[in-house]
Amino acid sequence: MWRRRPDGRDTRTDRHREAEEPEAPPQPAEPPALTIDALGRKCPIPIIMLAERINQVPVRGVVAVLADDPAAFTDVPAWCRLKSHEHVASYELPQGGWSIHVRRNY
């Protein structure tokens, strides 16, 4: 459903964005305590690497998994739900792939 904004702009289109500056890519809110480089590795290797090393960070600490396999983009957040950890966010890397941030919950 669409609504007209109080300033008269239509929420169905982005015509009002034409004059605005492009948005900068989101930056991680919290630096990771551990970074796992799984670039160039196919799933399930990034998940196996995460499962083996997540206990190296303190509880509530963040682990960044660097991965360029498209399956990792969906499989790491699914692993988080399965294991009761928190998928904080996924950020695109300039060289391709993602930095997938996971918060250890226990």
Q: What is the pLDDT of residues 48-99, one digit of tens each?
A: 999 999 999 999 999 999 999 999 999 999 999 999 999 999 999 999 999 9
- Enumerate the β-bridge partners of residue 98: 67, 92
Look at residue 85 in the predicted model and tell me its pLDDT. Answer: 98
List, by residue number, the catalytic residues: 43
Percent of the chain with pLDDT over 90: 72
3-state secondary structure of 103: strand
CATH number at residue 56: 3.30.110.40
- In terms of Cβ atoms closer than 10 Å to its own Cβ (0-12, 13-18, 19+), residue 83 is middle
Residue 61 included in any domain: yes
Residue 82 included in any domain: yes
What's the domain count of the chain? 1
Residue 17 included in any domain: no
Look at residue 65 in the predicted model and tell me its pLDDT. Answer: 98
CA angle 26, 32, 37 (to 5 degrees): 95
With CA atoms as reference, report the closest residue to 98 among 71, 66, 59. Answer: 66
Residue 27 included in any domain: no
Look at residue 101 in the predicted model and tell me its pLDDT. Answer: 98
What's the predicted TM-score (pTM) here?
Answer: 0.75
Residue 49 included in any domain: yes
